[in-house]
Amino acid sequence: MGQLEGKTALIMGVLNEHSLAWAITEALVAEGCACGFTYMPEERMERRVRKTIEGLNSRLIVPCDVQNDAQLQQVFSRAQETYGSLDIVIHSIAFAPRQTFEEPFHKTSRADFQTALDVSAYSLVAVAREALPVLNEYGSLLTLTYGASQRWIPNYNVMAVAKAALECSVRYLAVELGEAKKIRVNAISAGPVKTMAAAGIKGFGSMVERNVVKSPLHETIEPEDVGAAALFLCSSGAKRITGQVYYVDSGYSVMGW
């Protein structure tokens, strides 16, 4: 019997089979978890997501742009109707306009700054608020971040600022959701993995190379590594772990040289 048999998860952020959210889905499903999904409300995106998850016979596939509060409310009321309650919510979502990865950081416009922070950081707060009544006691809310929140990485720019806000939000949410319902809130800080979101980052190939050359393990990060870490953080083995940023980066983050 799988360790998540009888458990339910809502996965936000599967786009295709390269998405980190998909690797997480595969890890959770392998342990018996039933998963529902959200997709960006565009026909093309819906088709992609449905194709990716088609083998799972999921009972819940709902549109959700995280910038839309009404859609967020709808997602969690649909999750409640479908599953009664949830044990796990995966937030694997980020966006910044393409030019923010191409122009110097000091040229970031107010509008682009707001968009990046809204989609990539505030959305976790909004998700936590809507998820709280639907998540079971001892449930888990997990997000994805990147080490550029802590140290300068070329071209990551406003997304680095958004990730710093996201990580800080994890700590504040961990206190409130922990007190309310013993819900744990954590982030995985993944090393660079080639996905659709990553393809938009100028010089992404050098980020991967540098992670290999400079990290203690000298190895790239595979999506499965992120899936395995997510499974651990959402399982009872991690029942006293909350408010943490958990690095899956071949050790790159510890290097000072």
Report the residue from 62, 127, 144, 245 that binds ligand NAP according to the rule CB under 6 A.
144
User: Quick one: which segment of 127-135, 139-147, 170-178, 237-245 binds ligand NAP (CB under 6 A)?
Assistant: 139-147
User: Quick one: which segment of 24-32, 75-83, 134-142, 190-198 binds ligand NAP (CB under 6 A)?
Assistant: 190-198
Answer yes or no whether residue 74 interacts with ligand NAP by CB under 6 A: no
What's the burial of 185, exposed, middle or buried (CB within 10 Å: 0-12/13-18/19+)? buried
CB of 198 to ligand NAP, least distance (A): 4
Six token digits for residue 154:
């070329």
CB of 47 to ligand NAP, least distance (A): 11
CB of 41 to ligand NAP, least distance (A): 9
Report the residue from 132, 197, 233, 245 that binds ligand NAP according to the rule CB under 6 A.
197
Q: Which residues, 6+ apart, have CB-to-CB distance to 201 below 8 Å?
A: 101, 155, 156, 159, 207
Establish whether 146 is a catalytic residue: yes
Rounded CA separation 221/10 (Å): 24
Provide the 3-class DSSP secondary structure of residue 41.
coil
Q: How many Å separate Cα 208 from the centre of its chain?
A: 19
Rounded CA separation 80/236 (Å): 22
CB of 118 to ligand NAP, least distance (A): 8
User: Quick one: which segment of 1-9, 77-85, 150-158, 196-204 binds ligand NAP (CB under 6 A)?
Assistant: 196-204
- Residue 175 burial (CB count, 10 A): 12
CB 170 within 8 A of CB 245: yes
Q: Enumerate the β-bridge partners of residue 61.
A: 37
Answer yes or no whether residue 146 interacts with ligand NAP by CB under 6 A: yes
User: Quick one: which segment of 3-11, 54-62, 86-94, 124-132 binds ligand NAP (CB under 6 A)?
Assistant: 86-94
Answer yes or no whether residue 242 interacts with ligand NAP by CB under 6 A: no
DSSP state of 192: P
Binding residues for ligand NAP, rule: CB under 6 A, are 13, 15, 19-21, 40, 45, 64-67, 92-95, 119, 144-146, 190, 192-193, 195-198
